[in-house]
Structure 1
Amino acid sequence: MPDHITLRQVELPPLSQLGPEPTLSPEVYAGRISRARVKMRELGLTHLIAYADREHPGNSLYLTGFDPRFEEALVVLDLDNAPFILAGNESAAMVPGLPVTATTVLCQSLSLPGQDRSVQQRVSTALRQAGVDADSRVGLVGWRPITADDSRLSQFAYAVPAFVVGEILDVTQHLTDATTVLMGIDGLRSRNEADQIALNEHRSTRAAGHAWRALEALTPGRSELGTAAHMGLNGLPLSAHVMLTTGSGKVVGLCSPSDRVIGHGDLLSTAVGLQGGLTSRAGYVLRADELDQRQLDFAAGYFAAIAVWYQGLTLGASTADIAEQTTKELAKSQIRPLLNPGHLQHIDEWLDSPFAAGSAGTVHSGMSLQADIIPVGATPDLAANCEDAVAIADADLRAELAERYPHMWQRVTARRTFMTEVLGLTLAEEVLPLSDRQAVLPPALLSLSAVLVATV
């Protein structure tokens, strides 16, 4: 167990009582479209086409607020006109209610199997209606980049259904992958406006409350589903399925709750993610006085790395260096990260990750990040996790948030005080914790106020 990490009984602050959540105004979307057009001109594009589906709505939501239900959809942006949205039979009805002016183009090939195709079926026909022609130079935004390491044919590969790519090529042969215009470590979506950060904070606060209420209801002998029922989910859109799983030797944290009865001494992992932020915790169904030394050492070594990660978040810092230092700290306790030590989040739970060896990324203002460091120990009977969302804001962005969102700013300020004065963490001014339980790690989940703290 690291000398500077100890288990301490603390008074946790109450979970926030939130008012109505912030909304993104038409002006926010107009700014996003304007910035996308700047990128289009730099790349010599006449059109940007963003793919979306129920699992991957982030790019469409970012540009227009359009969140397709059941179906696939395409957002078509040119250099002058309002966006065109190619939608199927069901989602087409959602376009008139968007916060931006957009033109609906019915494209029934995007509808579910067996539905009517008699009005306008082909994507190519709909694209021509949206102004795409043989001379158009199109940048296609898939739901993720496909790199040369992913495929030898990466220059011809798009994270978009093949039939959609084929239909675009039926209209124009001038097609390139423009996914990194919006996504990637330096894409437009890695730089959040004040409004998006305020919305992320609201959603992250709610996600933390949902997860924590399940933990407060944790009782051996109750089922996973019975415990998850205490989350009090309210219908806001999820960024990931609800997770709560237990086991007596190991757990797979991605699993949904079941009727399994939770046993005393089980491992437990749970997570709730809303569009804007996710909270996850893992530990043991034990009281603090029941932890053995191996369990405590594992959790303490993990928390020491969490402290290193938060301390590394300073404007201009190399994300590769933060990843290296965090991984080195984990290794001191024979722990490795299952995935990257942290990642970008947005509407999607995982947008991309600059926290990797060789990454050229730096910490910049407007980032919204997940402190998502999944520890893997020497044996599968060890568990810990402490994941929350955090934003990075320079002085100007902080001033704007404080002025326009004073209640949010009060919550952020109180969290920073708790993290530094109670948990002993070092935070730069630009680090804005978005969760009521930011970095609160109780290894024994029947003793939620017995948490790990840094003493030096």
Structure 2
Amino acid sequence: MRDHIALRQVELPPPLAELEAEPVLSAEVYADRISRARARMRELGLTHLIVYADREHPGNSLYLTGFDPRFEEALVVLDLDNAPFILAGNESKAMIPGLTVAATAVLCQSLSLPGQDRSIQQRVSQALRQAGVGAESRVGLVGWRPITPTDSPAASYAYAVPAFILREIMEVTDHLPDATRVLMGIDGLRSRNEADQIALNEHRSTRAAGHVWRALEALQPGRSELAVAEHLGLNGLPLTAHVMLTTGTGQVVGLCSPSDRVIRHGELLSTAVGLQGGLTSRAGYVLRAGELDERRVDFAAGYFAAIAAWYRGLTLGASTAGIAEQTTRELAKSSIRPLLNPGHLQHIDEWLDSPFAAGSPGTIHSGMSLQADIIPVGDTPDLVANCEDALAIADADLRAELAERYPRTWARITARRAFMTGTLGLQIAEEVLPLSDRQAVLPPALLSPSSVLVAAHSA
């Protein structure tokens, strides 16, 4: 085992008995977001912003308007003066009048499911003209993700939207640069969260963690994956990913959903729940702590050392590339590599973008909402660990606002920080706000959930 990491029996923070009602984003929050989006539009010389959304990719639409399309695709059209227009199909259109944001609904039936009525207003191009977009408009198009030059040589005019929608937009206007980075990426508006969004993320992250830990505490060999997954106790809040719980003896693909497969003693297990605001994931062995062999403990310890390095590196102004390099170097000491970027931005969607990569010019700034998502890959597929939680970065002013306006949220954050530093021995800067219950708690043997890895100098 790494000399500064130990496996220790600790008293885990008790699960929350209940949460207060979750924070609600006000009309003022949305008005400020729209104002900041318009400022970016003016900088880019745009008259309109067209924002694509669908059931899998609602984040940009939700950010600007609170509109979450169900079943169908949708477009949000923002100009420099008027309330947003929302182009929606037969079913989603009914959701628009109840939004916090005043928005104008425009029926566009070709966004509806196949076989539904198209007799009133079918074409996207017609609906766009109704929303004020014309040949003289200078339009920026926001797809569901940025397209980089490595993805396509024509990145400036490549769009992550369905081709039929793109052709309809281009029938109305041919001035159409990709403007996805107005909202997404490390410099996008969604990388700087208000106190209200951080409080909402904390509420959802707390719930996500509770779901995962309830299932882990119900884990028993001889039960099926689905029987254990019933203990997740999901409550109907929107998910950002399929519910994950999978087991096996060889390589376990953590993205898999639970099945009727019976869990056996000694197998590997991975589980995760993601809600809009944060995801919690854990992976380990269906064993008790005393049954772990040295090889498995060493693997988990090397992984936890990298987690400690990642948290330690999160300081305002720190280079995200530098944090990625340090984390990867720490993993390599135990012959581990990260499957994906070591950490990423999250928001309403589970993965917004990731600046944690070699060569990234990004730095840590206030308002970031992050996932401590470091997926370890060892020399052989029988080694597993995962410890993923959500957190935020907040400077002194943002911390003071959170503490004043959301005292119960702040009390939970403060308690988590004390546990992470005092019990787990992690070093975290004042600006690091843990949003998940039992943040960074990693039990390699899942049948002994309170036998966890800690930094050796901890009490």
Which bracket does the TM-score occupy, shorter chain normalised?
over 0.9
Q: CA deviation at 1:185?
A: 1.1
User: Match of 1:11?
Assistant: 11
Measured in 2, the distance between the counterparts of 1:274 and 1:400 equals 24
For residues 58-99 of structure 1, the C-alpha deviation after alignment (integer angstroms, 9 at most, x for no partner) is: 000000000000000000000000000000000000000001
Measured in 2, the distance between the counterparts of 1:412 and 1:134 equals 51
For residues 179-202 of structure 1, the C-alpha deviation after alignment (integer angstroms, 9 at most, x for no partner) is: 000001110000000000000000
Percent of aligned positions that are identical: 84
Q: CA deviation at 1:250?
A: 1.9
Q: CA deviation at 1:155?
A: 2.8
Alignment of 1:370-449 (within 5 A): 370-449=371-450
Alignment of 1:30-179 (within 5 A): 30-179=31-180
Q: CA deviation at 1:152?
A: 2.3
Aligned length: 456
Measured in 2, the distance between the counterparts of 1:350 and 1:174 equals 29
User: Match of 1:306?
Assistant: 307
AA partner of residue 38 (structure 1):
A
AA partner of residue 308 (structure 1):
A
Measured in 2, the distance between the counterparts of 1:394 and 1:127 equals 41
Say whether 1:364 aligns with 2:365. Answer: yes
User: Match of 1:228?
Assistant: 229
Alignment TM-score, normalising by the size of structure 1: 1.00
Q: CA deviation at 1:455?
A: 1.6
Measured in 1, the distance between the counterparts of 2:174 and 2:355 equals 33
- Structure 1 unaligned blocks of 5 or more: none
Measured in 1, the distance between the counterparts of 2:427 and 2:456 equals 11
Measured in 1, the distance between the counterparts of 2:14 and 2:75 equals 43
AA partner of residue 5 (structure 1):
I
Measured in 2, the distance between the counterparts of 1:202 and 1:190 equals 18
- Residue pair 2:288, 2:448 contacting (<8 A) in 1 also: yes
Alignment of 1:317-336 (within 5 A): 317-336=318-337
- Residue pair 2:157, 2:176 contacting (<8 A) in 1 also: no
Measured in 2, the distance between the counterparts of 1:93 and 1:6 equals 55
- Structure 2 unaligned blocks of 5 or more: none
Q: CA deviation at 1:153?
A: 2.7
User: Match of 1:215?
Assistant: 216
Measured in 2, the distance between the counterparts of 1:138 and 1:152 equals 21
Measured in 2, the distance between the counterparts of 1:408 and 1:215 equals 25
For residues 382-423 of structure 1, the C-alpha deviation after alignment (integer angstroms, 9 at most, x for no partner) is: 000000000000000000000000000000000000000000
Q: Quick check: 68-77 or 167-176, which moved more?
A: 167-176
Measured in 1, the distance between the counterparts of 2:391 and 2:100 equals 26
AA partner of residue 338 (structure 1):
L
Measured in 2, the distance between the counterparts of 1:436 and 1:349 equals 17
SS in 2 for 1:282: strand
For residues 80-124 of structure 1, the C-alpha deviation after alignment (integer angstroms, 9 at most, x for no partner) is: 000000000000000000010000000001000000000000000
AA partner of residue 77 (structure 1):
L
AA partner of residue 3 (structure 2):
D
Q: CA deviation at 1:156?
A: 2.6
AA partner of residue 171 (structure 2):
D
Q: List structure 1 runs of 4+ shifted beyond 4 angstroms.
A: none
Alignment of 1:224-373 (within 5 A): 224-373=225-374
RMSD: 0.5
